[in-house]
Amino acid sequence: MALLEVNDLRTHFFTREGTVRAVDGVSFAVEKGRTLGIVGESGCGKSVTALSIMGLIPKPPAKIVSGSVVYDGQNLTSLSERKLEDLRGRKIAMIFQDPMTSLNPTLTIGTQITETIRRHYDVPKSQARKKAIELLEEVRIPRASERLDDYPHRFSGGMRQRVMIAIALSCDPKLLIADEPTTALDVTVQASVLDLLDDLRTEHDMAMIIITHDMGVVAEAADDIIVMYAGQVVEHASTLDLFDRPEHPYTEALLGALPQIEGEGIREGRLTAIPGRPPDLIDPPQACRFGPRCPYAGDDSCTQQQPELRELRKGHWVRSAHPASERVGAARREGAPA
């Protein structure tokens, strides 16, 4: 049984302007010790999915309207807030995008680490502090014992993210959700943080969900990838298979938009951008949501019904009426709609 199983999750935001169907039928599984990457553009619902798993969506406007999130046999969507609090940080941990604002500026990082430990374990302060120093060393912060009582503003961006990782690891969770962990960091720092995450993952035998819009990050860090678009999963495959033989037109476009320096299939000249924009999630059309931007969309099923997520080959699911392998021989339509 997988460590985490998300089944047909739907999270909607009830606002004055209408109901935003931010996550509209998302399913995936994460196995113990493996890393799942979730990619997609801003607004596709990847962060909301992560927050829904943790139960951290803002409850007044948002609500998980249907679906289940099963972790280690327990359905999280039916748990009370108190039970969820017991779970967070201890069994599932999460780190966020902006390390500058994600740490409380008025508390020392030592406090912010030890409070997590002492929340989930009944240990005296001194022992928690010792563990905190160990954690800081593990995330490669130099002079850890001296810096324990420093405030966040004394650390650089990259180091703050490491502190966040230390906090996340403090209670030895079996699943770590990383929401755009490197987006706010410099490119050089990104690489070291990703390396760190990888090392820690293997050492602690931890599963990881890494959320990003950067295909490069996910190529390096993930074992399996799901591609999200407009609140739905449009492709799900192992990393190798996704990059080797992408099926969904959106995935192809994402990969086509990547700059390449060398290797096979290097494009001569221009990169392709994807014209158009994602549909309004307040009243999504009853058709394929990617249709308006898809170069292969036909007048048939693409405009009338939503394609189902189907297993095209072993371990590779696609939600499209025109996946690449069914397109062999089919010519690309002239004058694709914008």
**Cβ-based nearer residue to other proteins, 252 or 312:** 252
Three-state secondary structure string covering 271-325: CCCCCCCCCCCCCCCCCCCCHHHCCCCCCCHHHHCCCCCEEEECCEEECCCCCHH
Q: Which residue has the tokens 């230390």?
A: 166
**Cβ-based nearer residue to other proteins, 103 or 128:** 103
Tell the smallest beta-carbon distance from residue 275 to other proteins (Å): 5
Tell the smallest beta-carbon distance from residue 302 to other proteins (Å): 19
Tell the smallest beta-carbon distance from residue 221 to other proteins (Å): 18
The 8-class DSSP code of residue 84 comes to H
Is residue 5 classed as helix, strand or coil in its secondary structure?
Answer: strand
**Cβ-based nearer residue to other proteins, 45 or 312:** 45
Please state, as a whole number, how many other Cβ atoms lie within 10 Å of the Cβ of residue 330. Answer: 10
Q: How many CA atoms lie within 13 A of 281 on its CB side?
A: 22
Tell the smallest beta-carbon distance from residue 273 to other proteins (Å): 4
Is residue 265 classed as helix, strand or coil in its secondary structure?
Answer: coil
Interaxial angle between packed helices 157-169 and 125-138, expressed in degrees from 0 to 180 and rounded to the nearest 10: 130
Query: Which spans of this chain sit near other proteins (rule: CB under 8 A)?
Result: 41-43, 54, 56, 81, 85-90, 93-94, 96, 98, 101-107, 115-116, 119-120, 151, 153, 164, 167, 213, 254, 257-259, 270-280, 338
149 contact partners, CB below 8 Å, separation of at least 6: 108, 110
**Cβ-based nearer residue to other proteins, 140 or 213:** 213
Tell the smallest beta-carbon distance from residue 212 to other proteins (Å): 11
Tell the smallest beta-carbon distance from residue 314 to other proteins (Å): 29
**Cβ-based nearer residue to other proteins, 86 or 199:** 86
Tell the smallest beta-carbon distance from residue 128 to other proteins (Å): 13
**Cβ-based nearer residue to other proteins, 111 or 312:** 111
Strands ordered across the beta sheet of 74-75: 18-30, 4-15, 62-71, 74-75
Phi-psi region of 295 (alpha: psi -120 to 50; beta: other; left: phi over 0): alpha
CA dihedral angle for residue 84, residue 210, residue 186, residue 43, rounded to 10 degrees: -80
**Cβ-based nearer residue to other proteins, 296 or 312:** 296
